[in-house]
Amino acid sequence: MIALSLDEIAAAVGGSLRLRSTDATSATLVDGTVTTDSREIAPGDVFFAKRGEFDDGHRFAPAAADQGAALLVVEHELDLEVPQIVVEDSVVALGALATDVVARVRAHGDLKIVGVTGSNGKTTTKNLLRAVLEHVGPTVAARASYNNEVGGPITMLALAHDTKFLVAEMGASGVGEIARLVRMARPDIGIVLKVGLAHAGEFGGIEQTVRAKSEMVTDLLPTDVAVLNLDDPRVAPMAGLTEARVVTFGLGSAADVRADDLVVHARGTEFTVHVPGGESARVHFGVLGEHHVMNALAAVAASVELGVALADVVAALEQVTLAERWRMQVMGGRDDVTVINDAYNASPDSMSAAIKTLAQVKAPGTRTIAVLGEMSELGEFSGEEHDRIGLLAVRLGISQLIVVGPGARRLHITAINEGSWDGESAYVETADEAYDLVVASAQPGDTVLVKSSNSAGLRHLGDRLGEWFS
């Protein structure tokens, strides 16, 4: 975090400063990392004691103090000899501090901010943008999927006065959450990737999901840029909801930034990218999966708008071989068995894309194995969407389907009911059973996909299989 006095921080968060019996004064400067996790505290850092659904961060404040925290932001004063700022709501205070810091950095530099949202692809697009922009100037981007009311502000608080780019991933589980993050960061460029059924159960339906994602662009200024997926019928109409200049991306000829001549193989995807002005380039993209081309196009569109030359954008994209751990991560290799671990999260769109990729990348004469777990947070859509994935696996000719856990069992039943399989779909209760089945049945040359929502825990199964076949 940029250096601020204790008084300045208290004013930013609307809190009351309690110096306790320390050597600190109201003018004491603090410039450490801001976190809500006491395990991450180092000397000089700031700890926000956040109340959670199952625990209370105030319980861990003593540990933060012992590890050298310079400041505690709390909802009630604690008997600890560390400066404290008492606030009504620590999460609201965290957002207020992020808003203040972003404004200060903007006022004294040439910071440009890109906001990224969508039902799928946020983290990949954020990572691609970071890979491009860090070659141009100091860049801050979220680690992992820090994109909610806590992770978003913590990312913003990592800004320094010389930061040139902030890439802010913005997720939500309800209407209004993206709007709050947008008000904190005030993006110069707002990207909407896709609106699908991911978390539709939490949002209360697809219409509410559309409304929430559109918050990325509704408050943009005429001098800003809205980067929209022209291929998504729920995203494209958002052009009418913003005063910003609109730049579209997609695979169709009408998109401002588009890709054609796609070639998908086990080492990634090749495509030709076209940008406004008639310039084009061939891209050898090492991230597995045709669906990631759309994320790359969004990154290209934003980067070009920020003044990065297309050749430099392409060179940076071609250096990226992994979107993020557990996202289309290629492992294995022994006996030519390839393991694709894509079990960080799953929605109907990303599950379909992963299975299609599995079918596309297999070598002639080899087999495919799809180990699939539950797609969570789909609400009323859960049954029919698991049905759809079961049908897709059959129709794409996946050699062996292994369905894991009660939440995904309907997928297995649907595959059987399709009527064309005889034992090609197996159901197991646990990841350990799935591991034993894959190890026992895999043949040289097989390609194995592991895919599920995070809550199903299959990402660790993917790691185990990757290590076994390494």
Residue found under tokens 């922009």: 133
Domain 329-468: CATH class, spelled out: alpha beta
How many CA atoms lie within 13 Å of 341's alpha carbon, on the beta-carbon side?
22
Does 121 carry a binding-site annotation? yes
CA-only gyration radius of the chain, Å = 24
Q: How far is 403 from 421, CA to CA, in rounded Å?
A: 14
* CATH node for 109-317: 3.40.1190.10
CA-CA distances (angstroms) from residue 237 to 165, 229, 295, 305, 335?
28, 10, 19, 21, 49
Average pLDDT (190-208) is 76
- For residue 193, which of 254, 150, 241, 236 has the smallest C-alpha distance? 236
Tell whether 123 is in a known binding site: yes
Place of tokens 């730049």: 247
Collapsed DSSP state (helix, strand, coil) of residue 216:
helix
Q: Is the pLDDT of residue 302 over 90?
A: yes
Give the HSE-up count for residue 222: Cα atoms under 13 Å, Cβ half-sphere: 0
DSSP 8-state assignment for residue 408? G
Name 167's bridge partners: 114, 141
Q: Which of these, 121, 128, 169, 119, lies nearest to 300 by C-alpha position? A: 128
Which residues have a Cβ under 8 Å from the Cβ of 228 and sit 6 or more positions away? 191, 192, 217, 235, 236, 238, 239, 246, 247, 248, 249
Spatial CA neighbour of 282 closest among 300, 308, 302, 255: 300
Please check whether residue 288 is in contact with residue 306, taking contact to mean a CB–CB distance below 8 angstroms: no
Q: Which residues share a beta bridge with 281?
A: 273
Q: Give me the residue spans of the domains in the chain.
A: 4-89, 109-317, 329-468
Residue 120 annotated as part of some ligand binding site: yes
Mean pLDDT, range 321-345, rounded to an integer = 86
Give the model's pLDDT for residue 264: 87
**Per-residue pLDDT for 392 more than 80?**
yes
Residue 201 in marked binding region: no
462 annotated as ligand-binding? no
Q: What is the CA angle 156-162-164, rounded to 5?
A: 70
pLDDT band with cut points at 50, 70 and 90 for residue 421: low
Q: Is the pLDDT of residue 119 over 90?
A: no
From CA 331, how far away is CA 339, in angstroms rounded? 5
Phi, psi of 113 (to 5 degrees): -120, 130
List Cα–Cα distances, 191 to 139, 145, 207, 231, 240, in angstroms: 17, 16, 19, 14, 15
pTM: 0.87
Where does residue 21 rank: exposed (0-12), middle (13-18), buried (19+ CB within 10 A)?
Answer: exposed
DSSP 8-state secondary structure symbol assigned to residue 205: S
Q: What is the mean pLDDT of residues 162-166?
A: 97
User: 430: annotated binding-site residue?
Assistant: no
Closest CA to 191 of 172, 214, 221: 214
Q: pLDDT tens digit string along 227-283? A: 999 999 999 999 999 999 999 999 999 999 999 999 988 888 999 999 999 999 999
Q: Which residue in this structure is represented by tokens 């291929």?
A: 231
In the predicted structure, residue 307 carries a pLDDT above the cut 60: yes
Inter-residue contact 34 to 60 (CB < 8 Å): no
- Range with the poorest average pLDDT among 72-81, 170-179, 231-240, 427-436: 170-179
362 marked among binding-site residues? no
What is the topology classification, in CATH, of domain 4-89? 3.40.1390
**pLDDT tens digits for range 3-21:** 999 999 999 999 999 998 7
